């Protein structure tokens, strides 16, 4: 029984650690044609005239969930940002990729994020309690549901 417990612990550690490893080819989630992409600034401009859009987008990572790597923020040079989650919670990002460029395949859309959800993400990001308490209004924002992410080497 004790050996079985150790086996489950080892398998659990392996499963958790393999979820955030970069494949040799740099892809997380579903593979896609990363060379055919638009810049995030171009996507943001297109989203001014539509509510949603399927796209392959290149952008700079501003921040990543520091608990699991289960979300990230992409930012443009003008400060505009986009919140990114991963399809079916099927893969996570490394937590040390802030500042790096990524290419994502998925679905861009506009959505309102509740105060409770914003506070949860602020905690995940490691913000101070004062910064978390300052969140008092929902936020309309650009979001992206990524089915795959490529991190160039």
Instruction: Note the pLDDT of residue 125.
Output: 85
- Per the listing, tokens 């970069």 go with 22
- The whole-angstrom distance between residue 147's C-alpha and the CA centroid of its chain comes to 10
Instruction: Note the pLDDT of residue 89.
Output: 92
Is residue 105 a contact partner of residue 151, using CB atoms and an 8 Å limit?
no
In Å, the largest CA–CA distance within the chain is 61
What structural domains does the chain harbor?
A: 2-150 (2.40.50)
By three-state DSSP, how is residue 77 classified? coil
- What is the 3-state secondary structure of 6-17? HHHHHHHHHHHH
Instruction: Note the pLDDT of residue 23.
Output: 57
Instruction: Note the pLDDT of residue 2.
Output: 52
Instruction: Note the pLDDT of residue 128.
Output: 92
Rounded-to-5 percentages of helix, strand, coil across the chain:
30, 35, 35
Is residue 43 a contact partner of residue 53, using CB atoms and an 8 Å limit?
yes
Instruction: Note the pLDDT of residue 147.
Output: 97
Instruction: Note the pLDDT of residue 25.
Output: 84
Q: CA-to-CA distance for 82 and 146, rounded, in angstroms?
A: 12
pLDDT, one tens digit per residue, over 28-61 is 999 999 999 999 999 999 999 999 999 999 999 9
Tens of each residue's pLDDT in the chain, 153 residues: 555 444 344 444 444 444 444 456 899 999 999 999 999 999 999 999 999 999 999 999 999 999 999 999 999 988 899 999 999 999 999 999 999 999 999 999 999 999 999 999 899 888 899 999 999 999 999 999 999 999 998
Instruction: Note the pLDDT of residue 4.
Output: 44
């Amino acid at each position: 029984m004790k050996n079985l417990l150790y086996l489950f612990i080892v398998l659990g550690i392996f499963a958790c650690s393999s979820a955030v490893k970069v494949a040799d080819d740099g892809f997380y989630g579903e593979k896609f044609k990363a060379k055919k992409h638009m810049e995030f600034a171009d996507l943001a401009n297109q989203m001014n005239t539509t509510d949603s859009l399927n796209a392959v987008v290149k952008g700079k990572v501003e921040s990543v969930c520091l608990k699991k790597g289960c979300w990230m923020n992409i930012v443009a040079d003008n400060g505009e940002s986009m919140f990114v989650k991963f399809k079916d919670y099927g893969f996570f990002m490394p937590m040390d990729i802030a500042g790096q460029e990524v290419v994502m395949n998925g679905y861009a859309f506009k959505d309102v994020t509740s105060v409770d959800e914003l506070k949860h993400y602020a905690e995940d990001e490691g913000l101070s309690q004062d910064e978390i308490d300052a969140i008092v209004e929902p936020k309309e924002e650009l979001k992206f549901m990524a089915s795959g992410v490529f991190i160039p080497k």
